[in-house]
Amino acid sequence: MPQVFFENERCKGCELCVTVCPKKIIALSAGEINSFGFHPAVLTDGTKCTGCGFCFLVCPDLAVTVVREEGGNGESTDEGE
Q: Which residues of the chain form contacts with ligand SF4 (CB under 6 A)?
A: 4, 6, 11-17, 21-23, 25-26, 41, 49-55, 58-59, 61, 63-64, 66
Q: Do residues 36 and 10 make contact, with C-beta atoms less than 8 angstroms apart?
A: no
Smallest separation (angstroms) from other proteins to the CB of 60? 3
Site string for other proteins, 21-60 (x = CB under 8 A): -----------------x-------------xxx-xxxxx
Q: Do residues 12 and 38 make contact, with C-beta atoms less than 8 angstroms apart?
A: yes
Alpha-carbon distance values, 2 to 20, 29, 33 (Å) = 17, 21, 26
Q: How far apart are CA 59 and CA 37, in angstroms?
A: 18
**Which residues sit at the interface with other proteins, rule CB under 8 A?**
9-10, 12-16, 18-20, 38, 52-54, 56-62, 64-70, 74, 79-81
